[in-house]
Amino acid sequence: MRRARAAALPIVRPDLVEFYLAHRAAQGMNTDHKVRWGARVLLATVPDLADFHRLPLERQLAFNHETHRFISWLSVTGRLQPGGDYLVARRPRLGIVLARTEPELHLRFMETARSLGFRDTVAMTQFNLLGHFVALFGKQPEELQQSDWDEGRRMLLEAARRIPNRGVKALSTALFNLEATLFHCELTDQLPRRRTPDRADMRAREWARVPAPMADTMQHYLQQITGTLRAGTVKNAELTLREFALLVATEDTSVTSVAGLRRRHIERYRQWLLERPAARGGPLHRHTVRDRLSKLRGFLRRLDEWDAADRPPRQLVFDSDFPIADEPLPRFLDDAAAAKLLVAARQDPDPFARLAIEILARTGMRRSEMLGLTIDAVVQIGSAYWLRVPVGKMHTDRYVPLHPQLKALLDDWLLHRPEGLRSNLLFTDHGRPVNASRIEAAVRKAGERAGLGRVTPHQLRHTLATQAINRGMSLEAIAALLGHRSLSMTRVYARIADRTVADEYFAVSEKVEALYDAPRQLPAEAEGSEMAKLRREVHRRMLGNGYCARPVEMDCHFESICESCTFFVTTIEFRPTLERQRDDAAAKGQVARERIFDGLLDRLDGEAS
């Protein structure tokens, strides 16, 4: 039997099919009947290309290979917007089509990616993702705005989470790499950044459970402090107010505004904080409890200062509500441990790890300050080199002296830094700012290799301060080196090794040791001042069968009894002693005694002549 002929396809938009075939022919590609048939199948199924994304995903994926090629061409040329689900599920190689339509862009993109250290396969994966963004929004790469990049990233990741086995983590990494190349290729103006999961929907749902008047007052407060406080501080304040409001709304439905709060609500919240488990198990740390109560008290105080209509009639949070805070001394490495750490760091094959540990150990910088260093941070002042530390935690910048060895390491790092980067940050990784976790990992691995256990970057700051104060550096100089705004921040290091306490302790310990070394009699200097004075006085007044108890203020008539005896004999070698005794009698106004010694001296002079 003869096979039945397939039903003829309706001819839809033949001009578009011919344009597609002409484009392929210009690229030296195949234009046989299979290619033509693939294009006609799509147009017969979806005459209006805007309806393609409305098809079920299974139907979108059911087309044959040549039809998918036609879909890719339509997507890159802006004639069809397939949607995130199709792009993630099908994974079309749109980068190949985009390279043919935009050859100059492809060349510039690949050169930029190579200069950032990406392999060609990774760079082509990025360019393929760029084609996905072009397809999502129907715009050429130069027309895409930052909002398009952010929205496209969200759409692709959400699609990857919906579709099984699509590698969300791998896609997120590829998108992060793409952002770096886009920035240095001047397709975006925003440095790539790591993003935390967006919990805005969860927060909105929880605020919706709070009575509207209370939520409005708290949200207004958060808006006011956003412009003056750090983002992290505002985030903690929002968390505190949200969980406090939810607790009140759940347990006391009669309270609908901040003005309705009473002391019992604060006490209940404090008890709830003490009882609730922490994220890693166990109770919340007392410092966390203090922070939450402090944020709540700050909120209520600001309402009083602003004379807000919706505020409690009196203050509700008091100092006695706060758990006693610990005041531990900074954790530092002793000299031997610090030396082991530097030896281990210098053996690390990663140049960034070696440089990072040297910088932290020799300058005492904070981790965030180091990551904020710019390529012009090293300056020469006179004959010395200094390192300009950028504005950081204390909202101030400063200059710290640069050790020659550290200067050499920085010069070598700059020598190997890629040229043409749009960022002036000193530390970049594939064109992106180095993440803080990389410093944490470098210090931790060096500590493990040195046999020191877990070591943190901030310990190196404490170590430098301790080393400096132990070697006589003033508190003022240490404060300037570390960027402290007040000496009270620096005095904590003086508590680690108090030189006065050490000197007095060792002085006393030597005397106490004498108790064990010579138990029969302490050294003379171990006695108190009055006891030592009495010992000297008694020793001077000792007689053969007792001692003289005459007060010092009274003269003794027998003080020179021997010198006045007829049997007393002296010679010329005792003349200096006799002269001192004569002068002592004259100073005391003892005329008779003075005459005795004058006579003895005259006798010696006569015998000498």
448-491: pLDDT as tens digits: 999 998 999 999 999 988 888 888 888 888 888 888 887 877 77
Residue 3 has pLDDT above 50, yes or no: no
- Specify the pLDDT at position 294: 95
Determine the longest span between alpha carbons in the chain, in angstroms: 170
Residue 556 has pLDDT above 70, yes or no: no
Average pLDDT for the chain: 85
Q: Where are the alpha helices (DSSP H) in 252-327?
A: 263-275, 286-305
pLDDT in tens, 189-221: 887 776 666 677 889 999 999 999 999 999 999
Residue 226, token pair as written in the block: 């956003």
- Specify the pLDDT at position 570: 84
Better-predicted residue by pLDDT, 142 or 491: 142
**Going by C-beta distance under 8 Å and a sequence separation of 6 or more, which residues neighbour residue 107?**
none
- Specify the pLDDT at position 254: 93
Residue 521 has pLDDT above 50, yes or no: yes
pTM beyond 0.75, yes or no = no
Q: Which residue type occupies 245? A: A
- Specify the pLDDT at position 56: 92
Residue 352 has pLDDT above 80, yes or no: yes
Confidence of residue 282 (pLDDT cuts 50, 70, 90): confident
- Specify the pLDDT at position 491: 77
Residue 62 has pLDDT above 50, yes or no: yes
Q: Closest Cα partner for 148 from 162, 161, 136?
A: 136
Confidence of residue 1 (pLDDT cuts 50, 70, 90): very low
CA distance 437 to 267: 39
Helix (H) or strand (E) holding 598: helix 591-608
CATH topology of domain 335-494: hpI Integrase; Chain A (1.10.443)
- DSSP classification of residue 2: P
Confidence of residue 553 (pLDDT cuts 50, 70, 90): very low
Residue 561 has pLDDT above 80, yes or no: no
Angle between helices 94-101 and 65-76 (to 10 degrees): 50
- Specify the pLDDT at position 590: 76
CA distance 283 to 289: 10
Residue 572, token pair as written in the block: 């010329």
- Specify the pLDDT at position 604: 82
Give how far Cα 478 sits from Cα of 226, 384, 387, 483, 491, Å: 33, 19, 16, 8, 10
CA distance 269 to 84: 44
Better-predicted residue by pLDDT, 214 or 574: 214
Is there a contact between 221 and 302 (Cβ–Cβ < 8 Å)? yes
- Specify the pLDDT at position 5: 43
CA distance 78 to 257: 53
CA distance 211 to 204: 13
Residue 147, token pair as written in the block: 């909002």
pLDDT in tens, 489-498: 777 776 676 6
The domain ranges of the chain are 14-184, 200-321, 335-494, 504-539, 557-608
The predicted model gives 10-31 an average pLDDT of 87
The predicted model gives 510-538 an average pLDDT of 59
- The neighbour count for residue 476, using CB atoms within 10 Å, is 11
Residue 126 has pLDDT above 90, yes or no: yes
Residue range 200-321 forms a domain whose CATH class is: mainly alpha
The predicted model gives 3-8 an average pLDDT of 50
Q: Which residue type occupies 447? A: G
pLDDT in tens, 355-370: 999 999 998 889 988 9
- Specify the pLDDT at position 302: 94
The predicted model gives 143-156 an average pLDDT of 92
Residue 9 has pLDDT above 70, yes or no: no
Confidence of residue 109 (pLDDT cuts 50, 70, 90): very high
